Each structure stands twice: as structure tokens, then as C-alpha cells.
Amino acid sequence: MAHAQSEQGVAIPLASSATTVRTVNSKTSSTHRSKGNWLYIIAVPVLLIMILPYVYLLFQSFAPWDQVNKAFFPNALTLRSYQWILSGGGYTSLPLVNALLNSFLVTIVDSISVVVIGAVVGYALSILDFRGKRFINSFILFQMFYPAIILLVPTFLIIRFAGLYNTYWAMIIPKLVSLWAIFMYTSFFRSTPLELIEAARLDGANNFSIIFRIMIPMARSISTIIFLFVFMERWTELMWDIIVVKEPTRQTLNVLLSSMFGPYGAYPGPLYAAAALLTFPILLLFILFSRNFVNGVQLVLR
């Protein structure tokens, strides 16, 4: 049998040590498999609890009206609820397609603006040196914990005095900036090596070139998280849009659908269909950008 000589001159059988290593590796892999099994056992029920309401909503949206909320899986499926929605719920004058375009317009403009402005301000607060920087950072943190509902009336009065009431700008401008996005970018950019920025400046890049060519691409995962959350929040906005826009041709899909269901409380099927239609764009975005979303969450949790 082959032996290995230790530092003290004691002979150690190689076969015995190899067997010991294999035993330790086997125990380690068994432990990892056991932990993985427990994670699956916990994750699957949690996932089902989260998904079941959406599955129920989807099936009820296709259920015949006399079977809605009678069973989880209806006996038959029909498109009647969706036809009712797309036909305007009996209101031939309701511009549903126009409302859908309005929703996409204000949501995309606000989502892109939050990402761009958040990255620019985050870069300034994390990389640049200027007077009042500490005060601005403290003010942003304070405002993040300030109830937004308190600013509802002052914001509305400013919009009205500026002559923006009942316009697209009334819906867009108050959502152009997100303090949460600025805070996220500031925290992420602080971990950027200063040598990288100095090298870019030596190559002749100014601050805006550094932001859009280096910083934002480097923060792609964080940008994806911010874009998705802002898109979801803006897409589902209802109260503010009801307050500032009364013209039907400028209303978003949420506002128009809510006006349809005022006198139709006895028809929950179309309500489920409307909820499914409003959920679909958000679900599609999460599917398309799921990898970047997961990477961004991992960066945030580090």
C-alpha cells in the first residue's frame, strides 16, 4: 500500500486518506441535497399560495356569468366577459383602445424618466463633490418616509394653477421622479471603483457620457428592477388620474374601466376580465426581464 510522509515523519496511507475525503464529500453533498429538498418543500406551497389568486381570477374571467364565483374551475369557458369589456360595456362612446394607448403613454414616459433622472441624480450624489450634497441626501431619506398622500392636495393645486389640469402632463409630471430610484442608484454607484471613472475622464468622457455609456449599462439589473416597479405602480394608478383628468379621450384604462363598473356591480365576470387585462402587461414584462430582475434583487440583498 502506498504511503505519504507527513511533516513529523509519520506515514499516512494514501488509500485511507482518499477514502476519508470521499466520505466527507459524500456527507457534504448529502447535506446540500437535504437543504435543497427542504427549500423545495417550503417554496412550493408558498408559490402556490401566491399564484392561486391569479389562477382563480383568470378562470373566473372566462366563466359564464351564471357560474362566476360558484366554483374554482367553471364547467364551461366563454369570452363573454371580455367581449363585454371590449364593446364598452354597453357604452358605444367609450374609447377603450384610446384609453389603452393613454395608459401606455404615461406609464412608459414616467418609467423611462424615473430611470434616467434617478441615474443622473444618483451619479451626482455618489460620485461628484459639491456643496449641500449631505443635506440633499438627508432630505431624500426624509422624504422617502413622508406619507405621499399628504402632498396630494398641494400637488393638485400646483397642477391647476399651472394650467395643466385635464391634460396628459397632469398625469405625467408628478410621477417623473422617484426618490426611491435615486436612493437605489446612489447606493449602487457608491460601490463603483473611482479608477474606472478617472480612466473614462482621461479618455475625454464628460459626466453625461460616463452616466449613459458606463454607469447605466453597469447598473442594468438595478435599472430593470426600478423600471418594472415604476411601470407596475404607474400602470395601476387610479386615484390621481381620476382627480386630474375628466376628459374621456385622455383618461387611462384604469379610470375608464372603473367608470364602466359603477352601475354594473352585479356582473363580477367582466370585473375579473378587466383585472386580467390590466395584469397582462405587467406579467409579460416580468417574464421578459426575469433574469435581470433576479440579478438585481441579488445585488440589492448583498
Mean pLDDT across 32-60 = 77
Sorted by sequence, the CB contacts under 8 Å of residue 100 that are 6+ apart come out as 253
CB of 99 within 8 A of CB of 93? no
Sorted by sequence, the CB contacts under 8 Å of residue 48 that are 6+ apart come out as none
What is the full DSSP assignment across 17-30?
Answer: HHHHHHHHHHHHHH
Whether residue 33 has pLDDT greater than 70: no
7 pLDDT band (50/70/90 cuts)?
very low
pLDDT value at residue 297 = 60
Task: For the beta carbon of residue 26, count every other beta carbon within 10 angstroms.
Answer: 10
The string of pLDDT tens digits covering residues 204-214 is: 889 889 999 99
pLDDT value at residue 268 = 79
The string of pLDDT tens digits covering residues 245-291 is: 988 888 898 888 777 665 545 577 888 888 888 888 888 888 887 77
User: What average pLDDT does the structure give for the chain?
Assistant: 80
Of the two residues 73 and 261, the one the predictor is more confident about is: 73
Question: Residues 158, 162, 168, 173: is their CA dihedral positive or negative?
Answer: negative
- Exposure on the CB side of residue 17, measured as CA atoms within 13 A: 10
Name the least confident of 33-37, 84-88, 100-104, 146-150: 33-37
293 pLDDT band (50/70/90 cuts)?
low
Q: Which letter does DSSP use for residue 4 in this model?
A: E
The one-letter code for the residue type at 92 is: T
173 pLDDT band (50/70/90 cuts)?
very high
In order of 149, 150, 173, 176, 179, the CA distances from 155 in angstroms are 10, 9, 10, 13, 16
In the chain, domain spans:
3-61, 88-301
CATH topology assigned to domain 88-301: MetI-like fold (1.10.3720)
CB of 97 within 8 A of CB of 217? no
